[in-house]
Structure 1
Amino acid sequence: MTLHHFILIIHLLAATVWVGGHLLLAICYLPTALKKKDPHIILNFERKFEALGMSSLALLIVTGIWMAYDFGVTAETWFHFSSGFEKVVSIKLILLFCTFICAVIAQFYVIPNLNEKNINRIAIIILSVTSIGIAMLILGSTLRYGGL
């Protein structure tokens, strides 16, 4: 097994936790919370998942950048969109930035004021981050064939 293959396995395991956790939240917990108008259902899940989820996200960032460099996509060529690999890496970085924006909005604006009347706001954030995670997973799968 090469080092790149090992890094890929770590990346895939972290993606499983990150995307899987958000799918679990979006499919199992969110509908119940919305139906009952109970934000504590979401907050309790977030509290339990946060350490594992954030660790997984950190691993995704580190291993993703590592593999990008293995493919010759360095910081100097990010956002050039000139090769299939550069396109995928650049789009994934843009989506990572979108995830970060969602996290900032959630942590500083939505969660501190979350209640049964505005629970739809956190639903939008949850569905956005879940959709972004799925999009990143799909984009990553294209690298096997040279990217976009």
Structure 2
Amino acid sequence: MTLHHFILIIHLLAATIWVGGHLLLAICYLPTALKKKDPKIILNFEKKFETLGMSSLVLLIVTGIWMAYDFGVTIETCFHFKSGFEKVVSLKLILLFCTFICAVCAQFYVIPNLNENNIKKIAVIILTVTSIGVAMLVLGSTLRYGGI
């Protein structure tokens, strides 16, 4: 096994946790919370998932950058959108930035004021971050064939 393959396995395991956790939240917990108008259902899940989820996200960022360099995509070539690899890495970085914006909105604007009357705001963020995670997973899968 090469170092790159090992890093890929760590990346895939971290993606499984990150995307899987958000899918679980979006599919299993969110509908119940919306139906009952109970933000505590979401907050309890977030409290339990946060450490594992954030650790996975950090691993995704580190291993993703590492593999991008292995594929020849550097900070200088990012966002040039010339090769398939550059396109995928650049799009994933844009989506990561969008995830960061969602996290900032959630942590500083939505969660501090979350109640039964505005629970739909956190639902939008949850569905957005989940969709972004799935999109990043799909984009990553294209690297096996040279990117997009």
Tell me the TM-score normalized by structure 2: 1.00
Give the RMSD, CA atoms, in angstroms.
0.2
Question: CA–CA distance in 1 between the matches of 2:77 and 2:60?
Answer: 20
Name the counterpart of 2:104: 104
Task: Report deviation, 1:68.
Answer: 0.1
Report the AA paired with residue 141 of structure 1. Answer: S
1:119 match: 119
- The count of corresponding residues between Structure 1 and Structure 2 is 148
What percentage of aligned pairs have identical amino acids? 88
The CA distance in 1 between the partners of 2:45 and 2:80, in whole Å, is: 39
Partner AA of 2:141 in structure 1: S
Runs of 5+ consecutive residues of structure 2 not aligned to the other structure: none
Normalised to the residue count of structure 1, the TM-score between the two structures is: 1.00
Letter of the 2:28 counterpart: C
Aligned to 1:84: 84
Instruction: Give the Å deviation of 1:46.
Output: 0.1
1:36: which partner in 2? 36
Is the aligned partner of 1:144 residue 2:131?
no
The residue that corresponds to 1:48 in the other structure is 48
Structure 2 distance, partners of 1:94, 1:102, is 13
3-state SS of the aligned residue for 1:77?
A: coil
4+ aligned runs moved over 6 Å, structure 1: none
Deviations 1:52-98 (A, max 9, x none): 00000000000000000000000111100000000000000000000
